[in-house]
A = this chain, B = another copy of it.
Amino acid sequence: MVRLGPLAAARRLLPAGPAGGWRSLSRSWPLRPPGPVGDRGLLSRQARAAAGSAGGGRAPPLKTPKGTRDHPPAHVALRDRLLAAVVACFKRHGAAAIDTPVLELQVPFARYLAMNKITNMKRYHVAKVYRRDNPATTRGRYREFYQCDFDIAGQFDPMIPDAECLKIVHEILSDLQLGDFLIKVNDRRILNGVFAVCGIPESKFITTCSTVDKLDKMPWEDVKSEMVGEKGLSPEAADRIGEYVQLHGGLDLIERLLQDAKLSQNKLAKEGLGDMKLLFEYLTLFGIAGEISFDLSLARGLDYYTGVIFEAVLLQQENEHVEEPVSVGSVAGGGRYDGLVGMFDPKGRKVPCVGVSIGIERIFSILEQRVEASGEKVRTTETQVLVATPQKHLLAARLKLISELWGAGIKAEMLYKKDPKLLKQLQYCEDTGIPLAAIVGEQELTDGVVKLRDVATREEVDIPREKLIDEIRRRLEP
Name the residue on B nearest A22 (C-beta). Answer: B130
B381–A141 CB distance below 8 A:
no
> Taking chain A's interface residues, is the majority helix, strand, or loop, or is none over half, making it mixed?
mixed
What is the oligomeric copy number?
Answer: 2
Q: How big is the A interface, by class?
A: 35 or more
- Report the separation of the CA atoms of residues A132 and B399 in the bound assembly, to the nearest whole angstrom: 41
Q: Does A311 contact B (CB under 8 A)?
A: yes
CB nearest to A141 among chain B residues: B29
Q: Which of B1, B54, B79, B114 contacts A343 (CB 8 A)?
A: B54
Q: Would you give the shortest CB distance from A294 to chain B, in whole angstroms?
A: 18
The answer, among B9, B31, B55, B286, for a CB contact under 8 Å with A403, is B286
Tell me if A61 counts as interface (CB < 8 A to partner B).
Answer: yes
For the complex, give the distance between the alpha carbons of A156 and B69 in Å: 29
- Residue contact A104 to B333, C-beta cutoff 8 Å: no
Cβ-closest chain B residue relative to A341: B2
Contact A31 B333, CB 8 Å, known A68-B103, A103-B68? yes
Chain B residues positioned under 8 Å from A26 (CB to CB):
107, 302, 357
Partner of A64, one of B55, B101, B332: B101
Q: Which residues of B contact A333 (CB under 8 A)?
A: 27-28, 31
- Across the interface, do A98 and B73 meet the contact criterion of CB distance under 8 Å? yes
Q: Is A152 interfacial (CB 8 A cutoff)? A: yes
Q: Report the nearest B residue to A165, measured CB to CB.
A: B1
Per-residue contact bits, chain A 274-288, to B (CB 8 Å; 1 contact, 0 not): 000000011001110
**CB–CB B111/A99 < 8 A:** no
Known: A355-B2, A399-B286. A65 touches B406 (CB 8 A): no
A220: CB under 8 A from chain B?
A: no
Alpha-carbon separation in the docked complex, A32 to B28 (Å)? 41
Q: How far is the CB of A239 from chain B (nearest CB, A)?
A: 23
Cβ A154 vs Cβ B5 within 8 A: no
Is there an interface contact between A23 and B73, defined as CB atoms closer than 8 Å? no
Using Cβ atoms and an 8 Å threshold, which residues of chain B touch A101? 23, 64-65, 68-70, 144
A125 to B122 alpha-carbon distance, docked (Å): 29
A48-63 Cβ-contact flags toward B at 8 Å (1 or 0) = 0011011100011111
Residue of B17, B94, B132 near A413 (CB, 8 A) is: B94
* Distance to closest chain B CB from A227 (angstroms): 14
Question: Which segment of A187-195, A240-248, A344-352, A446-454 sits at the interface?
Answer: A344-352
